[in-house]
Amino acid sequence: MAEMQTATTIEQLRTLVSCAKKSGSKIGFVPTMGALHEGHISLVHEAKKHCDFVVFSIFVNPMQFGPNEDFHRYPRPLQDDLKLCTDAGVNLVFIPSVEEMYPTGFSTVVEVNGLTNNLCGKSRPGHFKGVTTVVMKLFGQVQPDAAYLGQKDAQQALVIKRMARDLDLPIEVVICPTLREADGLAMSSRNRYLSNEQRSVAPLIYKGLCLLKEDVALRKHESSAQYRLDLLKRLEAIPNGVVDYVEIVNADSLEVLEKMNGIVLIAVALKLGNTRLIDNIIINTSA
Protein backbone atom coordinates (compact mmCIF):
# COMPACT_ATOMS: atom_id res chain seq x y z
CA MET A 1 0.00 0.00 0.00
CA ALA A 2 1.31 3.47 -0.93
CA GLU A 3 2.47 5.70 1.91
CA MET A 4 -0.03 8.36 3.01
CA GLN A 5 0.79 11.83 1.71
CA THR A 6 0.08 15.21 3.30
CA ALA A 7 -0.39 18.67 1.80
CA THR A 8 -0.53 22.03 3.54
CA THR A 9 -1.07 24.25 0.50
CA ILE A 10 -3.75 24.26 -2.19
CA GLU A 11 -1.04 23.98 -4.85
CA GLN A 12 0.40 20.81 -3.28
CA LEU A 13 -3.09 19.37 -2.89
CA ARG A 14 -4.04 20.00 -6.52
CA THR A 15 -0.79 18.51 -7.82
CA LEU A 16 -1.27 15.29 -5.84
CA VAL A 17 -4.97 14.93 -6.70
CA SER A 18 -4.21 15.64 -10.36
CA CYS A 19 -1.69 12.79 -10.41
CA ALA A 20 -4.30 10.44 -8.94
CA LYS A 21 -6.90 11.53 -11.50
CA LYS A 22 -4.47 11.04 -14.38
CA SER A 23 -4.03 7.43 -13.31
CA GLY A 24 -7.81 6.99 -13.58
CA SER A 25 -8.59 7.06 -9.85
CA LYS A 26 -12.05 7.96 -8.57
CA ILE A 27 -11.58 10.59 -5.82
CA GLY A 28 -13.41 10.32 -2.50
CA PHE A 29 -13.33 13.16 0.01
CA VAL A 30 -13.97 13.38 3.76
CA PRO A 31 -13.95 16.96 5.16
CA THR A 32 -13.36 17.26 8.93
CA MET A 33 -12.18 19.58 11.68
CA GLY A 34 -9.94 16.87 13.14
CA ALA A 35 -10.07 15.51 16.70
CA LEU A 36 -10.94 12.25 15.01
CA HIS A 37 -12.95 9.32 16.31
CA GLU A 38 -14.35 6.12 14.84
CA GLY A 39 -17.24 8.02 13.30
CA HIS A 40 -14.83 9.89 11.06
CA ILE A 41 -12.96 6.70 10.25
CA SER A 42 -16.20 4.99 9.23
CA LEU A 43 -16.56 7.68 6.55
CA VAL A 44 -13.11 6.75 5.25
CA HIS A 45 -14.09 3.08 5.11
CA GLU A 46 -17.22 3.95 3.16
CA ALA A 47 -15.25 6.14 0.77
CA LYS A 48 -12.71 3.36 0.20
CA LYS A 49 -15.50 0.98 -0.83
CA HIS A 50 -16.39 3.19 -3.78
CA CYS A 51 -13.30 5.28 -4.53
CA ASP A 52 -9.69 4.56 -5.47
CA PHE A 53 -8.08 7.60 -3.82
CA VAL A 54 -9.35 9.09 -0.55
CA VAL A 55 -8.58 12.70 0.40
CA PHE A 56 -9.17 13.72 4.02
CA SER A 57 -9.08 17.33 5.22
CA ILE A 58 -8.35 18.58 8.73
CA PHE A 59 -9.19 22.25 9.18
CA VAL A 60 -10.72 23.94 12.23
CA ASN A 61 -12.75 26.54 10.36
CA PRO A 62 -12.96 29.85 12.27
CA MET A 63 -15.75 31.07 10.00
CA GLN A 64 -18.29 28.63 11.44
CA PHE A 65 -17.70 29.50 15.11
CA GLY A 66 -19.63 32.25 16.85
CA PRO A 67 -17.89 34.89 19.02
CA ASN A 68 -18.59 33.00 22.26
CA GLU A 69 -18.01 29.49 20.93
CA ASP A 70 -15.08 27.12 21.37
CA PHE A 71 -12.81 27.88 18.38
CA HIS A 72 -9.66 28.45 20.43
CA ARG A 73 -10.18 25.46 22.70
CA TYR A 74 -11.40 23.10 19.97
CA PRO A 75 -9.14 20.00 20.25
CA ARG A 76 -6.32 19.74 17.70
CA PRO A 77 -4.47 16.43 18.32
CA LEU A 78 -2.87 16.44 14.87
CA GLN A 79 -0.35 13.61 15.34
CA ASP A 80 -3.03 11.28 16.73
CA ASP A 81 -5.30 12.23 13.83
CA LEU A 82 -2.62 11.51 11.23
CA LYS A 83 -1.98 8.08 12.75
CA LEU A 84 -5.68 7.25 12.56
CA CYS A 85 -5.73 8.37 8.92
CA THR A 86 -2.68 6.23 8.12
CA ASP A 87 -4.21 3.18 9.80
CA ALA A 88 -7.50 3.72 7.94
CA GLY A 89 -5.76 3.81 4.56
CA VAL A 90 -6.29 7.47 3.68
CA ASN A 91 -4.23 8.42 0.61
CA LEU A 92 -3.86 12.17 1.17
CA VAL A 93 -4.49 14.46 4.14
CA PHE A 94 -4.94 18.19 3.49
CA ILE A 95 -4.00 20.34 6.50
CA PRO A 96 -4.25 23.99 5.44
CA SER A 97 -3.61 27.00 7.69
CA VAL A 98 -6.24 29.67 8.24
CA GLU A 99 -4.12 32.00 6.07
CA GLU A 100 -4.10 29.45 3.23
CA MET A 101 -7.88 29.11 3.29
CA TYR A 102 -8.70 32.77 3.97
CA PRO A 103 -5.93 34.95 2.54
CA THR A 104 -5.89 38.71 3.12
CA GLY A 105 -8.81 40.32 1.33
CA PHE A 106 -11.01 37.23 1.32
CA SER A 107 -14.59 38.52 1.00
CA THR A 108 -16.81 35.85 -0.56
CA VAL A 109 -19.44 33.73 1.21
CA VAL A 110 -21.71 30.90 0.12
CA GLU A 111 -25.11 30.66 1.78
CA VAL A 112 -27.99 28.19 1.51
CA ASN A 113 -31.33 29.73 2.43
CA GLY A 114 -34.34 27.94 3.89
CA LEU A 115 -32.64 24.80 5.21
CA THR A 116 -30.56 26.93 7.58
CA ASN A 117 -33.47 28.80 9.19
CA ASN A 118 -34.12 26.48 12.14
CA LEU A 119 -32.42 23.86 14.34
CA CYS A 120 -28.70 24.73 14.64
CA GLY A 121 -29.11 27.56 12.15
CA LYS A 122 -31.47 29.33 14.54
CA SER A 123 -29.28 28.66 17.58
CA ARG A 124 -25.99 29.55 15.90
CA PRO A 125 -26.49 32.53 13.54
CA GLY A 126 -23.93 32.56 10.74
CA HIS A 127 -22.73 29.04 11.49
CA PHE A 128 -23.90 27.44 8.25
CA LYS A 129 -22.65 30.34 6.16
CA GLY A 130 -19.20 29.42 7.51
CA VAL A 131 -19.77 25.72 6.82
CA THR A 132 -20.97 26.13 3.24
CA THR A 133 -18.26 28.64 2.39
CA VAL A 134 -15.42 26.41 3.60
CA VAL A 135 -16.89 23.24 2.09
CA MET A 136 -17.42 24.98 -1.25
CA LYS A 137 -13.76 26.03 -1.17
CA LEU A 138 -12.68 22.49 -0.29
CA PHE A 139 -14.84 21.02 -3.06
CA GLY A 140 -13.21 23.42 -5.52
CA GLN A 141 -9.73 22.58 -4.25
CA VAL A 142 -10.12 18.78 -4.14
CA GLN A 143 -12.65 18.38 -6.97
CA PRO A 144 -13.75 14.96 -5.71
CA ASP A 145 -16.16 12.58 -7.39
CA ALA A 146 -17.88 11.88 -4.06
CA ALA A 147 -17.91 13.42 -0.57
CA TYR A 148 -18.79 11.51 2.61
CA LEU A 149 -20.58 13.15 5.56
CA GLY A 150 -22.07 11.87 8.82
CA GLN A 151 -25.77 11.70 9.68
CA LYS A 152 -25.07 12.99 13.22
CA ASP A 153 -24.73 16.47 11.70
CA ALA A 154 -28.01 15.97 9.85
CA GLN A 155 -28.74 19.60 9.05
CA GLN A 156 -25.17 20.24 7.93
CA ALA A 157 -25.23 17.21 5.63
CA LEU A 158 -28.53 18.28 4.06
CA VAL A 159 -27.30 21.85 3.60
CA ILE A 160 -24.12 20.67 1.85
CA LYS A 161 -26.11 18.28 -0.33
CA ARG A 162 -28.46 21.11 -1.34
CA MET A 163 -25.52 23.42 -2.06
CA ALA A 164 -23.95 20.82 -4.36
CA ARG A 165 -27.26 20.30 -6.16
CA ASP A 166 -28.15 23.98 -6.51
CA LEU A 167 -24.69 24.95 -7.78
CA ASP A 168 -24.50 22.02 -10.21
CA LEU A 169 -21.39 20.55 -8.61
CA PRO A 170 -20.46 17.19 -10.18
CA ILE A 171 -20.04 15.65 -6.73
CA GLU A 172 -22.09 12.86 -5.16
CA VAL A 173 -22.76 13.77 -1.52
CA VAL A 174 -23.12 10.59 0.53
CA ILE A 175 -24.63 10.74 4.04
CA CYS A 176 -23.44 7.87 6.25
CA PRO A 177 -25.00 6.51 9.48
CA THR A 178 -24.15 7.93 12.88
CA LEU A 179 -21.67 5.84 14.85
CA ARG A 180 -22.39 5.46 18.55
CA GLU A 181 -20.60 4.44 21.70
CA ALA A 182 -21.74 1.19 23.33
CA ASP A 183 -24.15 3.15 25.56
CA GLY A 184 -25.72 4.98 22.61
CA LEU A 185 -23.99 8.36 22.81
CA ALA A 186 -23.30 9.68 19.31
CA MET A 187 -19.56 9.85 18.67
CA SER A 188 -18.38 13.46 18.60
CA SER A 189 -15.09 15.32 18.91
CA ARG A 190 -16.72 17.39 21.65
CA ASN A 191 -17.40 14.35 23.85
CA ARG A 192 -13.84 14.66 25.16
CA TYR A 193 -14.89 17.90 26.89
CA LEU A 194 -17.37 16.06 29.12
CA SER A 195 -16.60 15.46 32.78
CA ASN A 196 -17.14 11.93 34.10
CA GLU A 197 -20.47 12.99 35.56
CA GLN A 198 -21.60 14.62 32.32
CA ARG A 199 -20.44 11.64 30.29
CA SER A 200 -22.49 9.30 32.49
CA VAL A 201 -25.76 11.14 31.72
CA ALA A 202 -25.07 12.07 28.07
CA PRO A 203 -26.48 8.75 26.73
CA LEU A 204 -29.90 9.82 28.03
CA ILE A 205 -30.15 12.06 24.94
CA TYR A 206 -30.26 9.07 22.60
CA LYS A 207 -32.41 7.11 25.05
CA GLY A 208 -35.00 9.90 24.85
CA LEU A 209 -34.97 9.74 21.06
CA CYS A 210 -35.41 5.96 21.13
CA LEU A 211 -38.35 6.23 23.53
CA LEU A 212 -40.00 8.73 21.19
CA LYS A 213 -39.52 6.29 18.31
CA GLU A 214 -41.26 3.60 20.37
CA ASP A 215 -44.13 6.00 21.13
CA VAL A 216 -44.53 6.77 17.42
CA ALA A 217 -44.67 3.05 16.61
CA LEU A 218 -47.49 2.71 19.17
CA ARG A 219 -49.32 5.71 17.60
CA LYS A 220 -49.33 7.27 21.06
CA HIS A 221 -50.33 10.77 19.88
CA GLU A 222 -52.05 12.43 16.95
CA SER A 223 -49.94 15.58 16.73
CA SER A 224 -46.16 15.95 16.59
CA ALA A 225 -46.40 18.72 19.23
CA GLN A 226 -47.20 16.18 21.93
CA TYR A 227 -44.29 13.93 20.94
CA ARG A 228 -42.04 16.96 21.03
CA LEU A 229 -43.29 17.91 24.50
CA ASP A 230 -42.70 14.36 25.80
CA LEU A 231 -39.13 14.37 24.46
CA LEU A 232 -38.51 17.85 25.83
CA LYS A 233 -39.56 16.69 29.32
CA ARG A 234 -37.21 13.69 29.12
CA LEU A 235 -34.28 15.86 28.07
CA GLU A 236 -35.04 18.50 30.70
CA ALA A 237 -34.81 15.73 33.30
CA ILE A 238 -31.14 15.06 32.42
CA PRO A 239 -29.08 16.29 35.42
CA ASN A 240 -27.53 19.72 34.76
CA GLY A 241 -28.55 19.58 31.11
CA VAL A 242 -29.83 22.70 29.33
CA VAL A 243 -31.97 22.03 26.26
CA ASP A 244 -31.17 24.20 23.24
CA TYR A 245 -33.88 22.81 20.96
CA VAL A 246 -36.12 19.84 20.27
CA GLU A 247 -37.66 19.79 16.80
CA ILE A 248 -39.72 17.38 14.70
CA VAL A 249 -39.25 18.24 11.05
CA ASN A 250 -39.51 16.89 7.52
CA ALA A 251 -36.31 14.95 6.84
CA ASP A 252 -35.74 16.68 3.48
CA SER A 253 -37.03 20.24 3.87
CA LEU A 254 -36.48 20.59 7.66
CA GLU A 255 -39.87 22.26 7.92
CA VAL A 256 -41.60 21.82 11.28
CA LEU A 257 -44.33 19.18 11.09
CA GLU A 258 -47.74 19.38 12.72
CA LYS A 259 -48.32 15.66 12.22
CA MET A 260 -45.99 12.69 11.97
CA ASN A 261 -46.21 12.24 8.20
CA GLY A 262 -43.68 10.66 5.84
CA ILE A 263 -39.98 10.56 6.70
CA VAL A 264 -39.43 12.54 9.87
CA LEU A 265 -36.24 13.89 11.45
CA ILE A 266 -36.25 14.33 15.22
CA ALA A 267 -33.32 16.59 16.07
CA VAL A 268 -32.12 17.82 19.46
CA ALA A 269 -29.35 19.94 20.93
CA LEU A 270 -28.47 20.02 24.61
CA LYS A 271 -25.69 21.60 26.66
CA LEU A 272 -23.92 19.77 29.45
CA GLY A 273 -21.77 22.38 31.14
CA ASN A 274 -20.04 24.23 28.30
CA THR A 275 -20.37 21.33 25.88
CA ARG A 276 -23.11 21.43 23.28
CA LEU A 277 -24.20 18.00 22.03
CA ILE A 278 -26.49 17.30 19.07
CA ASP A 279 -28.22 14.11 18.01
CA ASN A 280 -31.07 12.96 15.83
CA ILE A 281 -33.00 10.00 14.52
CA ILE A 282 -35.02 9.50 11.34
CA ILE A 283 -38.39 7.75 11.43
CA ASN A 284 -40.29 6.58 8.39
CA THR A 285 -43.85 6.90 9.65
CA SER A 286 -45.19 5.14 6.55
CA ALA A 287 -43.20 1.97 7.15
Contact 39, 178 (CB under 8 A): yes
Catalytic residue flag (residue 40): yes
Task: Say if residues 160 and 147 touch (Cβ distance below 8 Å).
Answer: yes
Q: Please give the Cα distance from 119 to 8 (Å, whole number).
A: 34
Cβ–Cβ under 8 Å, residues 201 and 272 = yes
Q: Which residues of 40-66 are buried (b: 16+ CB within 10 A; e: fewer)?
A: bbbbbebbbeebbbbbbbbbbbebbbe
The sheet with strand 275-284 has its strands ordered as 241-250, 263-272, 275-284
Q: Which of 37, 40, 45, 221 is catalytic?
A: 40
- Yes or no: say if 276 and 269 are a contact pair by the CB < 8 Å rule: yes
Quote the distance between the C-alpha of residue 46 and its chain's center.
15
The strand ranges marked E within 84-221 are 92-94, 146-150, 172-176
Give me the active site residues, please: 40
